[in-house]
Amino acid sequence: MGKALAEAALAAGHEVAIVSGPVEVAYPAGAEITPVVTTDEMLEASRRIFATCDGAICAAAPCDYRPEKIAVQKIAKTGEPLTLHLIETPDVCATLGLEKSPEQWLVGFALETEDQRFRALVKLERKHCDLMVLNGPQAMTSEDNAVEIMDRSGGIIASVSGDKGDVAREILRLVQERLIARSLRTPPSRQPPNT
Amino acid sequence: MGKALAEAALAAGHEVAIVSGPVEVAYPAGAEITPVVTTDEMLEASRRIFATCDGAICAAAPCDYRPEKIAVQKIAKTGEPLTLHLIETPDVCATLGLEKSPEQWLVGFALETEDQRFRALVKLERKHCDLMVLNGPQAMTSEDNAVEIMDRSGGIIASVSGDKGDVAREILRLVQERLIARSLRTPPSRQPPNT
């Protein structure tokens, strides 16, 4: 979905920066790609790059947890059960939401398997997103997706399904209509750079 | 590595059956592919298909452990650490080693990060393999591999590095020379089908 969004954003004339975990995805050549491995690295790169952007779409599904300890060598099987202790990773999208300026916009993705709209609304508010895209686990590794798009009121403003490219173009159209055109109507509080 | 071995075996004139977990690999069209998800499914398919084969190369890295319980729905973050209880999965290669007939041959792969030769020899004996291919974690998702090949005496009979296709062809050459040609010299106990 990240690749499809980057392609749609490039086609709409945006400059695109991608922060991506280690996935087997051929991102478009026109995007500036920052590869990361851990969620901590994704947070650091996303904060740094977001500071120079008009908005961000957080389509990644970063790891929610990481192992408390990481074995230096391969763990040999012993015949006994194994217990993994996991601790939460930082929330990349929520951190951008806390740090964003009033002129910046933020779109989050929520992947839920139950109580989808309620949980997505909680995430939208907690992460300070302007729009939240709701999808299910069937989106992963599929060419297609079926999403609902929620605005800050909690209302579903669009339902889109089909090829991920079509879904991405519709998300970009809504970003343009609801977030970019809106901010153009509202004069920014910053001074333009040439004055 | 499984794809390269299948291509090398087809090129050498073998019929090839692949039992594969859910990976993003384009296997050769000439092979009969049985897709599986869990290690239990891989064991079941491998036992069933191995019964009809002259030999097997166990190049897969099946999961060594599986969760004791599987959540039906996505686990929501709580802010607290999470503990995963894991139990061992069956050993596919060792099970084939126990069930193989004297005419069948079995090649295992050992991925080790320390004490590589010692641990590979332990695996070779425990899994009743005829040859063991030793490689390290750098083999994963790489186009290249660097392996040592160990026979039942524990001796290293070959060291091969380079493109996975080259490594696969050398493994197949050794299988032909050491395992297939050997069994042709030793008359099988089964009657040939045309008598």
A84 to chain B: nearest residue by CA? B84
Q: What pLDDT, on a 0 to 100 scale, did the predictor assign at position B63?
A: 87
| Chain B residues near any Cβ of chain A (below 8 Å) | 24, 64-65, 68, 73-77, 79-88, 111-114, 119, 137, 141
Q: What pLDDT, on a 0 to 100 scale, did the predictor assign at position B138?
A: 82
Among A64, A66, A91, most B C-beta atoms within 10 A, so best to mutate, is A64
Residue A133 near residue A109, CB atoms below 8 Å: yes
- The arithmetic mean of pLDDT across residues A38-65, rounded, is 94
Q: What is the pTM of this model?
A: 0.70
Q: Could you give the 3-state DSSP secondary structure of residue B134?
A: strand
Percent of chain A with pLDDT over 90: 77
Res. A31 pLDDT band, cuts 50 70 90: very high
Which residue shows structure tokens 């039942």? B152
The distance of A87 to chain B (nearest Cα, Å) reads 4
Task: Give strand pairing partners of B57.
Answer: B107
Cβ burial, residue A191 (10 Å; 0-12/13-18/19+):
exposed
Q: How many CB pairs under 8 A join A and B?
A: 56
Q: What pLDDT, on a 0 to 100 scale, did the predictor assign at position B186?
A: 57
Mean pLDDT for chain A overall: 91
H helical segments located in chain B = 2-11, 39-50, 92-99, 116-126, 164-174, 181-185
Could you tell me which residue, B49 or B114, shows the higher pLDDT?
B49
ipTM score assigned to the predicted complex: 0.71
Res. A182 pLDDT band, cuts 50 70 90: confident
Chain A residues in contact with B87 by the CB 8 A cut-off are 81-82
Two tokens at B70? 């599987």
Cross-chain residue pair B113–A73, CB shorter than 8 Å: yes
B74 to chain A: nearest residue by CA? A113
Whole-number Å distance between alpha carbons of B15 and B53: 9
Is B66 a residue whose pLDDT tops 90? yes
Q: What pLDDT, on a 0 to 100 scale, did the predictor assign at position A192?
A: 53
Q: What pLDDT, on a 0 to 100 scale, did the predictor assign at position A13?
A: 96
B79 to chain A: nearest residue by CA? A88
Spatial neighbors of B32 by CB under 8 A, at least 6 apart, are B15, B16, B17, B18
- The arithmetic mean of pLDDT across residues A135-156, rounded, is 90
Cross-chain residue pair B64–A77, CB shorter than 8 Å: yes
- The arithmetic mean of pLDDT across residues B19-34, rounded, is 95
